[in-house]
C-alpha cells in the first residue's frame, strides 16, 4: 500500500513537505518554510503524520521553501535519516545558518516560536547523508518488520545547483517527485533529466500552471529585453535594483548580465552582489565540472562583482550608474533588497526590475505590480511610498512552463498525478490539461491534512 499526505505546500507555494507511507516505510519529501507567513503557520504540520512510521527525509534542494523547516522535522522525528545531493549539503550549510538569522528578525514578535540556533544547525549537518545523481540507494524502513524494500534515486531537476527530482521504487511500483523542476536551459544550469521509463505515480509541481507561456519567454529573448531596459536607465545616469534569491537566481542573472556586457550589449557599469550569494557563487564554481552546466569553463567568480555589504552609505549607489543583484527575491522585510527598495522607489532616474515569481503577499509582489506614479505600502504597517523610479517586470524562469509540465506527464505516462506546489488556478489549469490528454489518469489536488491511497 502507498499513501500520500500533504503536510504543507498543497494549494500554495510555501512550506513544501509531503509524507509517503510506502509499504510500511515512512518517507518525508522536503521540509520547507513559508517565506511570508509567521510563527508556526510558516511550518509544515508534522503532527499530521500521527503514529505512522517515519524513517527517511529526502530534500530536493536548498531553497527556503523546501529545506528551512528541516531542523523542526528532525526535532519531531529524532531518528529520521536525511538524504540530499552533495551540492545541497554544502548549500544547506549556508542557507540554514542564514535562515536562523532571518527568523530572528521575522519571528521576534511571535510568542512561543522556537528558533533553532547555529550550534544546532552545525550538529545537524553532520547527520546528513549525501548521494549523487543516478545512483539508487536503499531507504527501507529498518524498524518495520513488514516493510518491503524501497529504493530512492536523485535526478537532476535543472532548477538550481544540486536540485533533484526524486524517484522512489518498491515491488515494481514507482513514485516520481519533481520537486522544483525546469525543462529549459538557463544561463548556467542545463535543463532537467527525466527517467527513461514510465512511472506509476507522479507528484508534480505547478508553479506556473496558470501562467500563459507566452509571458515566459526564452532566456535569450528576455536577456535582450533586459539589456535594452538597463541601457536606458544607465544612459539616464540611474542605477537598477534587481531583487534575486541568493541561491540560483543571483548566479543566473550575474552570468546573464556579464555575458551581455562582454558582448557590448550592456554598458560596462559596476555590478553588486550580496554576502550569502557570493558564498553560493563560489560553490557553483567548485561544482561546475561535476553537475550539468552549460559551460563548465565559465567561472562566475571571475566576474568582477562588488560586495554590496561593503558599501557604508547606500545612497552612494546613486552617484554613478550600477546594477545591484540583492536578496531577497521577494523583497522580504529585513533583507538587503527591502532596504534598497525603500530608496530606489523614491529615485526618478533609477529602476527596480523584478525577474521571477513573487508571492502575492510579499512586498516584491506589490512592487512588481505597480508603476511609476503609484503609491504603495511595502508592508501594511509601513509608510506610503510614491513610486518615482521605473518599475519593470521580467520573467527569467527556473521552473517549467505549463506546457512543459504537461509534457512531463506525457513522457512518463503515470497512472496517478498529484498536483502540488501551486496556487489553486495553477492546479486547476494543469488538472484540466492532463485530463484533456488522457481521461484515464487519476488526478489529485494535494490538500493539507488529506490522506490519499494511491496504490
Same domain, 34 and 176: yes
Same domain, 41 and 185: yes
| Residue closest to 385 by CA, chosen among 406, 397, 365, 371 | 371
DSSP 348-371: TT-EEEE-S---TTSHHHHHHT--
Same domain, 323 and 385: yes
SS (H, E, C) 245-279: CCCCHHHHHHHHHHHHHHCCCCCCCCEEECHHHHH
pLDDT band with cut points at 50, 70 and 90 for residue 99: confident
Q: How far apart are the first and last CA of the chain?
A: 6
At 107 the pLDDT is 74
Check which CATH number belongs to the domain holding 262 and give it: 3.40.50.10890
Q: Residue-wise over 35-64: b if at least 16 C-beta within 10 A, else e?
A: bbbeeeebbbbbebbeeebbbbbbbbbbbb
pLDDT band with cut points at 50, 70 and 90 for residue 14: confident
Same domain, 423 and 361: no
Counting the structural domains of the chain, the total is 2
pLDDT over 90 (residue 357): no
Residue 17 sits at φ, ψ, to 5 deg, of: -170, 135
Check which CATH number belongs to the domain holding 97 and give it: 3.60.15.10
* Angle in degrees, 0-180, between the axes of helices 249-262 and 219-235, rounded to the nearest 10: 70
* Angle in degrees, 0-180, between the axes of helices 86-106 and 118-125, rounded to the nearest 10: 170
pLDDT over 80 (residue 108): no
Query: Under the phi-then-psi rule, with left for phi > 0, alpha for psi from -120 to 50, and beta for the rest, what region is 213?
Result: alpha
At 404 the pLDDT is 96
d(CA 179, CA 383): 38
pLDDT band with cut points at 50, 70 and 90 for residue 111: confident
At 148 the pLDDT is 74
Same domain, 331 and 239: yes
Specify burial of residue 399 (Cβ count, 10 A radius: 0-12, 13-18, 19+): buried
d(CA 124, CA 213): 41
Same domain, 229 and 369: yes
pLDDT over 60 (residue 144): no
Residue 366 sits at φ, ψ, to 5 deg, of: -65, -40
DSSP 24-50: TEEEEE-----SS--GGGGS--GGGGT
User: Three-state SS for 155?
Assistant: strand
At 147 the pLDDT is 60
Q: Which set of grid coordinates corresponds to residue 376? A: 504603495
Same domain, 194 and 236: no
Same domain, 311 and 356: yes
Q: Which domain holds residue 44?
A: 2-211+402-453
Q: Which of 356, 376, 393 is the last residue of a domain?
A: 393
pLDDT band with cut points at 50, 70 and 90 for residue 387: very high
Same domain, 188 and 245: no
Average of per-residue pLDDT values in the chain: 94
> pLDDT tens across 249-282, in order?
999 999 999 999 999 999 999 999 988 999 999 9
pLDDT band with cut points at 50, 70 and 90 for residue 313: very high
Whole-number Cα distances in Å, 211 to 173, 235, 345, 355, 391: 33, 33, 27, 15, 21
Q: Which of 393, 420, 435 is the last residue of a domain?
A: 393
Average pLDDT over residues 272-301: 96
> pLDDT tens across 163-194, in order?
999 999 998 999 999 999 999 999 999 999 99
d(CA 323, CA 319): 12
Radius of gyration of the chain (CA): 22
Average pLDDT over residues 99-110: 76
- Return all residues near 80 (Cβ < 8 A) that are at least 6 apart: 28, 54, 55, 56, 57, 73, 74
At 19 the pLDDT is 98
Same domain, 253 and 195: no
At 8 the pLDDT is 94
**Running DSSP on this structure, what letter comes out for residue 305?**
-
At 359 the pLDDT is 85
> pLDDT tens across 408-453, in order?
999 999 999 999 999 899 999 999 999 999 999 999 999 999 999 9
Same domain, 240 and 329: yes
At 210 the pLDDT is 85
Same domain, 249 and 311: yes
Average pLDDT over residues 315-322: 96
> pLDDT tens across 49-75, in order?
999 999 999 999 999 999 999 999 999
Share of the chain above pLDDT 70, in %: 98
At 13 the pLDDT is 83
Amino acid at each position: 500500500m502507498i499513501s500520500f499526505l500533504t503536510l504543507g505546500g498543497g494549494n500554495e507555494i510555501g512550506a513544501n513537505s509531503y509524507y509517503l507511507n510506502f509499504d510500511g516505510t515512512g518517507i518525508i519529501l522536503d521540509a520547507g518554510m513559508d517565506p511570508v507567513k509567521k510563527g508556526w503557520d510558516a511550518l509544515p504540520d508534522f503532527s499530521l503524520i500521527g503514529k505512522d512510521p517515519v524513517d527517511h527525509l529526502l530534500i530536493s534542494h536548498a531553497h527556503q521553501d523546501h529545506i528551512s523547516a528541516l531542523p523542526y522535522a528532525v526535532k519531531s522525528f529524532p531518528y529520521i535519516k536525511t538524504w540530499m545531493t552533495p551540492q545541497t549539503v554544502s548549500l544547506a550549510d549556508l542557507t540554514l545558518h542564514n535562515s536562523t538569522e532571518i527568523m530572528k528578525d521575522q519571528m521576534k514578535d511571535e510568542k512561543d516560536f522556537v528558533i533553532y540556533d547555529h550550534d544546532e544547525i552545525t550538529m545537524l549537518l553532520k547527520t546528513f547523508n549525501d548521494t549523487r545523481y543516478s545512483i539508487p540507494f536503499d531507504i527501507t524502513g529498518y524498524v518495520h518488520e513488514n516493510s518491503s524494500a524501497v529504493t530512492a534515486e536523485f535526478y537532476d531537476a535543472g532548477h538550481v545547483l544540486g536540485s533533484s527530482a526524486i524517484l522512489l521504487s518498491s515491488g515494481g511500483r514507482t513514485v516520481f517527485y519533481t520537486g522544483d523542476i525546469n525543462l529549459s536551459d538557463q544561463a548556467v544550469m542545463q535543463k532537467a533529466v527525466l527517467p527513461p521509463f514510465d512511472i506509476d505515480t507522479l507528484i508534480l509541481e505547478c508553479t506556473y500552471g496558470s501562467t500563459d507561456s507566452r509571458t515566459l519567454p526564452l532566456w535569450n529573448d528576455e536577456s535582450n529585453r533586459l539589456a535594452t531596459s538597463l541601457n536606458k536607465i544607465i544612459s539616464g545616469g540611474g542605477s537598477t535594483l534587481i531583487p534575486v534569491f541568493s541561491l540560483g537566481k543571483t548566479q543566473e542573472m550575474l552570468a546573464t548580465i556579464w555575458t551581455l556586457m562582454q558582448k557590448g550589449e550592456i554598458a560596462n557599469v559596476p555590478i553588486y552582489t550580496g554576502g550569502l550569494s557570493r558564498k553560493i557563487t563560489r560553490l557553483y564554481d567548485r561544482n561546475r565540472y561535476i553537475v550539468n552546466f552549460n559551460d563548465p569553463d565559465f567561472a562566475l567568480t571571475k566576474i568582477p562583482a562588488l560586495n554590496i555589504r561593503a558599501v557604508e552609505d547606500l545612497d552612494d549607489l546613486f552617484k554613478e550608474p550600477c546594477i545591484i543583484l540583492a536578496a531577497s527575491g521577494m523583497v522580504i522585510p529585513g533583507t538587503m533588497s527591502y532596504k534598497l527598495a525603500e530608496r530606489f522607489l523614491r529615485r526618478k532616474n533609477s529602476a527596480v526590475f523584478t525577474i521571477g515569481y513573487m508571492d502575492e503577499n510579499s512586498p516584491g509582489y506589490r512592487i512588481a505590480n505597480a508603476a511609476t506614479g503609484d503609491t504603495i505600502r511595502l508592508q501594511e504597517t509601513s509608510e506610503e511610498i510614491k513610486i518615482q523610479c521605473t518599475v519593470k517586470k521580467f520573467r527569467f524562469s527556473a521552473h517549467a512552463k505549463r506546457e512543459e509540465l504537461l509534457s512531463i506527464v506525457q513522457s512518463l505516462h503515470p497512472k496517478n498525478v498529484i498536483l502540488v506546489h501551486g496556487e489553486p488556478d495553477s492546479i486547476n489549469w494543469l488538472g484540466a490539461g492532463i485530463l484533456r490528454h488522457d481521461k484515464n489518469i487519476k488526478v489529485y489536488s494535494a490538500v493539507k491534512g488529506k490522506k490519499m491511497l494511491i496504490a
